């Protein structure tokens, strides 16, 4: 099971309105993902595996039952998150059927329209809500007690770090979020060691906002 599924399903839970008419899901051309709605682009590393909508939906279905268990309230929140969250880009280093690697590092870009709780003004507010829901899942997450501010590309993001204990000794994840045009725009990276983290940070730091 790809660990990022847990984050993808748990990360967004606030209520949102329908996407604006001029909303842009983005596209990849010549190895660069571009999103005109949020006015940014990011190079996609050559030979990395970009997952399509069908693959992402399959991962969501596999992960939702494991996360919610017998918790009907959490199951309902996950179902709502599936409807409201827009996954812009999902990229793994290796193909889905690769078995020669210990862990398949990944990065995800996603967004959510913030018509919900009025207390979400900054990225760290959104991360705080995400952390609460993740804790409700009973998954073995451990969080750093504080949030951080970090420049990704040419914008300041708020960051939350977490470790998901498991058979591999701990999947590390960093969650980055900013509030832009009434949306929570977020990046999630997943890794197991320093080399993978450095590689992923090098990728997401190439994001450029106009």
Burial of 127 (0-12, 13-18, 19+ CB in 10 A): buried
pTM: 0.82
Q: Give me the percent of the chain exceeding a pLDDT of 90.
A: 47
CA 126 to chain centroid: 12
Distance in angstroms (rounded) separating the CA atoms of residues 123 and 177: 5
- In 3-state terms, what secondary structure has residue 87? strand
Instruction: Give the CATH number for residue 111.
Output: 3.40.1000.10
Q: Which domain holds residue 81?
A: 4-209
**Higher-scoring residue by pLDDT: 73, 14:** 73
Instruction: Provide CB contacts within 8 A for 31, sequence distance 6+.
Output: 43, 44, 46
Q: In this structure, are residues 123 and 158 in contact, taking their beta carbons and an 8 Å threshold?
A: yes
Cα dihedral angle (200, 7, 118, 154), rounded to 10 degrees? 10
Pairing state between β 49-50 and 40-43: unpaired
More confident residue, 25 or 139: 25
Give the side-chain half-sphere CA count within 13 A for 75: 8
The dihedrals phi and psi of 124, each to the nearest 5 degrees, come to -65, -30
Task: Collect all residues with Cβ–Cβ distance below 8 Å to 64 and sequence separation of at least 6.
Answer: 9, 75, 78, 79, 82
The confidence score (pLDDT) of residue 136 equals 76
Question: What are 1-48's pLDDT values in tens digits?
Answer: 233 444 544 444 333 344 556 788 899 999 999 999 999 999 999 999
**Rounded Cα gap, residues 205 and 183, in angstroms:** 20
Total domains in the fold of the chain: 1
pLDDT higher than threshold 90 for residue 195? yes
Please give the pLDDT value at position 207.
97
Q: State residue 107's pLDDT score.
A: 95
């Amino acid at each position: 099971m790809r660990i990022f599924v847990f984050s993808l399903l748990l990360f967004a839970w606030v209520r949102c309105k329908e996407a604006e008419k001029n909303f842009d899901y983005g596209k990849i051309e010549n190895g660069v993902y571009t999103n005109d709605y949020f006015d940014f682009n990011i190079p996609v590393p050559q030979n990395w595996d970009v997952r399509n909508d069908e693959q992402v939906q399959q991962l969501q279905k596999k992960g939702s039952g494991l996360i919610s268990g017998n918790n009907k309230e959490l199951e309902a929140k996950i179902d709502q998150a599936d409807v409201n969250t827009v996954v812009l880009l999902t990229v793994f280093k290796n193909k889905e059927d690769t078995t020669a690697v210990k862990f398949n590092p990944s990065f995800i870009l996603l967004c959510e329209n913030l018509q919900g709780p009025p207390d979400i003004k900054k990225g760290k507010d959104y991360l705080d809500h995400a952390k609460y829901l993740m804790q409700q899942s009973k998954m073995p997450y451990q969080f750093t007690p504080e949030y951080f501010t970090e420049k990704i590309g040419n914008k300041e993001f708020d960051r939350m770090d977490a470790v998901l204990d498991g058979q591999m000794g701990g999947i590390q994840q960093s969650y980055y979020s900013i509030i832009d045009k009434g949306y929570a725009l977020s990046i999630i990276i997943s890794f197991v060691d320093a080399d993978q983290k450095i590689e992923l940070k090098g990728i997401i730091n190439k994001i450029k906002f106009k």
